[in-house]
Structure 1
């Protein structure tokens, strides 16, 4: 489903829910007298909102920075593939052709097969990419005398691939989500008990606060995984593929 549509549905749903709660509370408390002292209520509202904002800001910065780390990981992996291709220069012609073919197949596998799965927030641990790396290792092992740096190049590719897949499956954790969700409820709760003489200002203010909190949580959920929703493109692999010429 489209991200904009999902976000809009969440905002509308939360707004309607909060408005319904406000209406119920106003009917229950028709005299509009505050349940607690207004100065205490304001202090609690400010403190809860500030603490939630601090926690949410740290989480947001963390998940946002992961996209930059993931982008760097893609260039490291693509560079490792390039090094594997260069390491084949000292091999006999048939072995060199096989190694170059494997590097091209690997890049195509990443771009055409693995990237859509990552964008859909799924990681295939038994992907064809692992088998291609294994075949590169076998070719490098057979030609270690002609290309001494080939095994090390394949090893660097293996490490870069593992790093990228680890980042693709990274999440902020259930404990963090628990803190965010509970913090959001506690931050918004005091606003329901402010005494408003008129219903319209209270409805508008409550819906605004609830919508902003929902928008922040929805944004964090959408960017939680750096490769989801196409945040990190496969540009590094595509550029490397164009540089690896056929033997």
Structure 2
């Protein structure tokens, strides 16, 4: 099922759940003057505010922060790859060709093979192997002249940053909010939605509309937090744009300078 459809169905389900509770458990009489009671309005307003603060404000903000960190990590890795590629330009011709070719292969492996794996919560063994080959090529590069030694040291330093960023990405794939927290969110959301009906708030049309909106907001917040909690899955997951950028920079650095 499409992630977008899941959000829509969950939101409508929350609204329907709240409507049924309000309709069948709420009282069917109004205040003496026929107007909506101020106590009922205050209660529904408190439920709406609690739903927003507890679910949307806390869980979504935390998941969005983790997603932003994962996205930033891919660009840190891409920048380190371009730094390594640039530094390799100072190596001997054979070593430069070998290192740059392996860097391109690693970047292609991440973009084409690893990102589908990340969506399933794992990294690519082939990409790890490709990066190890880059490190071996840099380590084995001949550095007879001072400028070659400087280039080799710079390439090794930038490559260490690549490994660090990649390890952070592997950790981000496995990280997430514990299941018990999701269970607590669902139970708390259901209680917040059911609270007006349990207290016997009058089931007028206006009350049902307000409570249904609260149900929709709570359900949408939970699903949104769940989707943001997986930083490499659709619809909000990290894209491959950073590695496409790296490949573009590789091409630019290959152009001979005048």
Match of 1:221 among 212, 226, 249: 226
Equivalent residue, structure 1, for 2:52: 53
Residue 216 of structure 2 aligns to a residue whose secondary structure is helix
Contact 2:66 2:231 in 1 (8 A): yes
Residue 90 of structure 1 aligns to a residue whose secondary structure is coil
| 1:1-247 correspondence to structure 2 within 5 Å | 1-25=1-25, 50-56=49-55, 57-118=57-118, 121-143=119-141, 145=143, 146=148, 147-192=152-197, 193-196=199-202, 198=204, 200-229=205-234, 231=236, 232-245=238-251
CA change 1:175–1:47 in 2 (3 A) is: farther
**Distance in 2 (alpha carbons) for counterparts of 1:47 and 1:25:** 19
**Distance in 2 (alpha carbons) for counterparts of 1:51 and 1:144:** 65
The C-alpha deviation readout for 1:153-188, integer Å capped at 9, x for no partner, is: 222111111112222333122343233223212322
- Following superposition, the deviation at residue 42 of structure 1 comes to 6.9
CA change 1:189–1:17 in 2 (3 A) is: closer
Aligned residues between the structures: 238
**Distance in 2 (alpha carbons) for counterparts of 1:203 and 1:129:** 54
- Following superposition, the deviation at residue 45 of structure 1 comes to 5.8
The C-alpha deviation readout for 1:17-40, integer Å capped at 9, x for no partner, is: 3333334325xx67789xxxx888
Contact 1:41 1:194 in 2 (8 A): no
Q: CA RMSD in A?
A: 2.9
The C-alpha deviation readout for 1:26-59, integer Å capped at 9, x for no partner, is: 5xx67789xxxx8887776665654443332022
TM-score (norm 1): 0.81
- Following superposition, the deviation at residue 76 of structure 1 comes to 0.7
